[in-house]
Amino acid sequence: MLSAALDLFVERGYAATKLDDIAIKARVSKGTLYLYFDSKEALFKAVIEQGILPMLAEGELLLQQHQGDARSLMQELMLRWWQLMGETHLGGIPKLMISEAGNFPEVATYYYENVILRGRELIRQALNRGVASGEFRALNVESAIDVILAPVLMLVVWRYSLTPCGCGTQDTQAYMSTYLDILMNGLTQKGSE
């Protein structure tokens, strides 16, 4: 049911997705769907809880256990995010939130509090670790988080907005390689490479 819900949320958007359609796609009765989820919002939250929150927990574990330098930590965090979210159907969720947050503030608030804040904290800790060790130059960490996230968010927005319309595709491997090169060289202390 969660897979069917994710597919329809990404394909149609939150507003246009009906519980009847999810039940049909999941090949269950609407009554069965309601046994597990009392509303579309509850179903959406379950998609986030089962799909995205485990990735954040994995990133938090990586942050705790990482023994290498801050540069490799930051690269691994961003690459894992792309592999686990950007390259999967879950990558459609950020675009969905951008387009529909104003119409569904409760859903947007849930996503913000449970996904965005946790993701920002991962990057914040990696940046602070690099600044403290002298690997990264001193910077405004809060603004840097936004600047770090913007290119990967743009890539998923492109993937779920323009690519399906035949308006161009991105070579995601080249994009991520270029992104990480620019990011790491922008963060690194001069002369520390």
Q: Assign residue 39 a region: left if phi > 0, alpha if psi is -120 to 50, beta otherwise?
A: beta
What superfamily does domain 52-187 belong to in CATH? Answer: Tetracycline Repressor, domain 2 (1.10.357.10)
| % of the chain exceeding 90 in pLDDT | 75
State the span(s) of the chain assigned CATH 1.10.357.10.
Answer: 52-187
* Average pLDDT for 117-129: 97
State the span(s) of the chain assigned CATH 1.10.10.60.
Answer: 1-40
CATH architecture of 1-40: Orthogonal Bundle (1.10)
Six-digit token string for 120:
């920002």
Please tell me the predicted confidence (pLDDT) of residue 190: 67
Give the residue carrying structure tokens 């690194």.
188
Cα 116–120–124 angle (5° rounding)?
A: 170
pTM for this model (two decimals): 0.88
Residue 109: pLDDT band with limits 50, 70, 90:
very high
Give the residue carrying structure tokens 């459609």.
92
